[in-house]
Amino acid sequence: MPEKTFIEAIHDAMDEEMARDPSVVLLGEDVGLRGGVFRASTGLIEKYGERRVIDTPLAESSIAGVAIGMALNGLRPIAEMQFADFSFPAFNQIQSEAARFHYRSNGGWSVPLVVRMPYGGGPGVHGALYHSQSVEAFYAHIPGLKVVLPGTPYDAKGMLKAAIRDDDPVIFLEHKRAYRSVRGEVPDGDYTVPLGPAEVRREGRHVTIFAYGYMLHESLRAAEELAKSGVECTVVDVRSLKPLDVKTIAEAARLTGRVLVVHEDNRSFGAGAEIAAIVAEEALMYLDAPVRRLTGPDVPGIGFNHVFEVEFTPDAAKIARAARELAEF
């Protein structure tokens, strides 16, 4: 199986879906001639033309709002927010409109829309306060959306294809550090990965770590390190926050009785709080230690200076320390 980077997987999914289905269009800032600022859409405008690969005006609300209109009239738009941080001008269109169309029309209309957003930061990204935010909690709170954060190139391709074929609005979050640093096997040709089920990436009997996106890889590195000293971790890739795979989360928590939730997003009211609540509701009697969260702090983003990047971001060493403390509790 060929090995590809995360961003190649994103590119291939869009390319293949556009070839397969003429109703798929891509719109966003610089997605055409430039091929996207991260080059996710390189070559697509040459292949599919400027009617289907649309360099939009620099106005995010219009990217989401026009894409919703396209979706209402038979197209399957992929709207790219250049950075997740810039999705907030489009927030109303996503939350009040895309998410509610089907419900508010009692099933009369639907919005098959994918909103792709590069998110997150960390050491070496130098995204600062407005090019490195994690935005998943905002969107995962909204009924009517699906919110996914693949961690591997295999999932990036398979889940993006599933998202494009889905008849509901899907917020598709791509971690910027994963784009070029994460490589993995990606089959050529067609396959999809369902939007919802979590995946157990490693099994171990002492501590269960829940993570997603780039933090999945830091967590797997931590688990590898801990195994050397006899602490065995289960690592669950919670690649979909909406819907959330309650069953797999509960089973994985019961398995070890010691739970660590890792995310880069701010701590309060984040995905970690929801996962911890599910563990409390579904697995409390199995717990041998309090549930622990390791997250980004409650400050408005990752500071530009390298010191701030390191201080803000959870990494394998911090995860290993937290997991070891849990194992020894």
Choosing from 11, 131, 175, 217, the catalytic residue is 131
| Tokens at 308, concatenated | 């701030």
Per CB under 8 A, the list member of 19, 20, 47, 104 interacting with another protein is 104
**Torsion of the alpha carbons at 290, 296, 298 and 300, rounded to the nearest 10:** -170
Q: Quick one: 171 or 294, whose CB is closer to another protein?
A: 171
Q: Can residue 300 be called a binding residue for another protein (CB under 8 A)?
A: no
Interaction residues for another protein, span 190-249 (CB under 8 A): 194-197, 240, 243-247
Between 134 and 248, name the residue whose CB sits nearer to another protein: 248
Nearest Cα to Cα of residue 57 among 36, 78, 28, 37: 28
* 97 contacts another protein (rule: CB under 8 A): yes
Q: Which two tokens stand for residue 229?
A: 């000293």
Cβ 208 to another protein, closest distance in Å?
A: 18
* Integer CA distances (angstroms), 47 to 15, 51, 109, 276, in order: 9, 11, 31, 46
Counting contacts by CB under 8 A, is residue 103 touching another protein?
Answer: yes
- Closest to another protein by CB, 246 vs 289, is 246
The H or E element containing residue 31 is none
Among 19, 21, 46, 96, binds another protein (CB under 8 A): 96
Residues contacting another protein: total by CB under 8 A: 52
Of positions 66, 135, 236, 279, contacts another protein by CB under 8 A: 66
273-279: long-range contacts, CB 8 A cutoff, minimum separation 24: 274/140, 274/241, 274/244, 275/210, 275/238, 275/244, 275/249, 278/244, 278/246, 278/249, 278/250, 279/249, 279/250, 279/253
How far apart are CB 45 and another protein at their closest, in Å? 15
167 scored as a contact of another protein (CB under 8 A): yes
124/194 with CB nearer another protein: 194
The stretch among 12-20, 143-151, 205-213, 225-233 that binds another protein (CB under 8 A) is 143-151
The SS3 of residue 79 is strand
Per-residue contact flags (x/-) with another protein for residues 33 to 52, judged by CB under 8 A: ------------------xx
The answer to whether residue 274 forms part of the interface with another protein (CB under 8 A) is no
Least Å distance between CB 107 and another protein? 4
Return the structure tokens found at 35. 């091929």
CB atoms within 10 A of CB 317: 12
Alpha helices in the chain (DSSP H): 6-20, 44-48, 60-72, 91-92, 101-104, 136-140, 153-165, 176-181, 214-227, 246-256, 271-283, 306-312, 316-327
Nearest to 137 by CA among 1, 247, 238, 286: 238
Q: Is 144 in the site for another protein (CB under 8 A)?
A: yes
164/294 with CB nearer another protein: 164
Q: How far is the CB of 42 from another protein (least distance, A)?
A: 23
Q: Is residue 102 flagged as an active site residue?
A: no
- With CB under 8 A as the contact rule, the residue among 3, 92, 205, 305 that binds another protein is 92
Q: Please identify which residue in 34, 88, 110, 308 interacts with another protein, judged by CB under 8 A.
A: 110
- Cβ neighbours for 3, distance < 8 A, ≥ 6 positions apart: 183, 184, 185, 186
- Classify 203 as helix, strand or coil: coil
**121: its two tokens:** 């930061």
Catalytic center residues: 131
Residues that bind another protein (CB under 8 A): 25, 51-52, 57, 59, 61-62, 64-75, 77, 92-93, 96-97, 100-110, 112, 143-144, 146, 166-168, 194-197, 240, 243-247
